[in-house]
């Protein structure tokens, strides 16, 4: 299930993952959006009183997938096999792809190929009802938190690639405010619940500290 569309007009290179209207998760998403509107991102990421942590993480993971999907979709024409022959985040960090199932041994590939693999893999996890149950009363599996952490760790790499390799293009498109707000929301969320190891965040550590200091 590969989904890199050729035309930029699509803006997002993968259909949005929708949360069913009327479901409890949809209500949680609406709550998250309303809280985000207040402008206080630290408060917006906190677990709402009385809510299930797994469900809150699931709803936000879907939302971050949709956001990154759209952000990357705006710059796909600049991220090519030629311009980005390896998946990197600056000169010190290079990522090789493996999903443990179809590709067990990490392979070196271009950034567009890596991100295609990554977003397809994430979509497959989100569509798996045994991992991300959408029906009320269906429990989350015991390994849910581990899967969610892996998804978020990998989604971070798309932010890192965009910031390091394509920020000029983002500025040309006047999308930097959108990118910065999305990334700040993402970072505050993963920090709130300790979802990504600090070492994994190293490629954007300076930016993370800057965003955090502005909010204190």
- Helix (H) or strand (E) run with residue 88 in it: strand 87-88
Tokens of 12: 């997002």
Is 84 annotated as a binding-site member? yes
Taking the C-alpha atoms of residue 147 and residue 63, their distance in angstroms, rounded to an integer, is: 16
For the chain, what's the residue count?
216
H/E/C letters for each residue in 92-105?
CCEECECCCCCCCC
Check the CA dihedral 116-197-63-40 and report its sign. Answer: negative
**HSE-up of 10 (CA within 13 Å, CB side)?**
15
Is 166 annotated as a binding-site member? yes
Taking the C-alpha atoms of residue 69 and residue 73, their distance in angstroms, rounded to an integer, is: 6
H helices present in the chain, as ranges: 24-36, 41-44, 53-73, 111-126, 144-172, 176-192, 205-214
- Do residues 156 and 201 touch, judged by C-beta distance below 8 A? yes
- Do residues 13 and 72 touch, judged by C-beta distance below 8 A? yes
Which residues are annotated as part of the binding site for Zn(2+)? 79, 84, 161, 166
Which residues are annotated as part of the binding site? 79, 84, 161, 166
């Amino acid at each position: 299930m590969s989904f890199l569309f050729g035309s930029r007009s699509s803006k997002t290179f993968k259909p949005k993952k929708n949360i069913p209207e009327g479901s409890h998760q949809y209500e949680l998403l609406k709550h998250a959006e309303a809280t985000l509107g207040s402008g206080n991102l630290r408060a917006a990421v906190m677990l709402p009183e009385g809510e299930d942590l797994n469900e809150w993480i699931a709803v936000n993971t879907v939302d971050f997938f949709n956001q990154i999907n759209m952000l990357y979709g705006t710059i796909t024409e600049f991220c090519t096999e030629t311009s980005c022959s390896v998946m990197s985040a600056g000169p010190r960090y290079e990522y090789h792809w493996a999903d443990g199932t179809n590709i067990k041994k990490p392979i070196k590939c271009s950034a567009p190929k890596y991100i295609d693999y990554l977003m397809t893999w994430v979509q497959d996890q989100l569509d798996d009802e045994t991992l991300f149950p959408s029906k009320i009363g269906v429990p989350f599996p015991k390994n849910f938190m581990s899967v969610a952490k892996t998804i978020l760790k990998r989604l971070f790499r798309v932010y890192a690639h965009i910031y390091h390799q394509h920020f000029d293009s983002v500025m040309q498109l006047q999308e930097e405010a959108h990118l910065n707000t999305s990334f700040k929301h993402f970072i505050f969320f993963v920090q709130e619940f300790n979802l990504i190891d600090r070492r994994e965040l190293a490629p954007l550590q300076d930016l993370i500290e800057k965003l955090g200091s502005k909010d204190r």
